[in-house]
Amino acid sequence: MNIFDDDDYMSTTPQDNFMSIIKTANQNIVANEIEKVFARLALAEKLLEENGLEEQYEKMLPSFAVANPKEYDERVNSIFIETVGNIVTQCE
């Protein structure tokens, strides 16, 4: 017997929670947090380029989720959780 509703926070994935939160939260806060995620991505790409790792990155990217599914899921979920936390704390 499931004591939680189907839409309960604990019975959904971090991605599901993210999608739900961004629809109802203050859109200016959501936009700012998404911009921060993209800024981190831009910096990561810059660091890869500066260290000559962009070719290695391009080779690994397509297989990362397949070769290391647990690590991939943990890293992606961590980004979703962190972003939701940042949005929610600013909307309180």
pLDDT surpasses 90 at 90 = yes
**0.85 cut: is pTM over it?**
no
Q: For the chain, what are the domain ranges?
A: 25-91
Q: What distance in Å separates the CA atoms of residue 66 and residue 12, rounded to the nearest whole number?
A: 22
What is the pLDDT, as a whole number, of residue 11?
A: 80
What is the pLDDT, as a whole number, of residue 38?
A: 98
- What is the DSSP code string of 21-83? HHHHS-HHHHHHHHHHHHHHHHHHHHHHHHTT-HHHHHHHHHHHHHHSHHHHHHHHHHHHHHH
Q: Do the Cβ atoms of 24 and 91 come closer than 8 Å?
A: no
Pair of tokens at residue 65: 């989720």
Residues 4-20 have pLDDT tens digits of: 455 555 689 999 999 99
Residues 31-80 have pLDDT tens digits of: 999 999 999 999 999 999 999 999 999 999 999 999 999 999 999 999 99
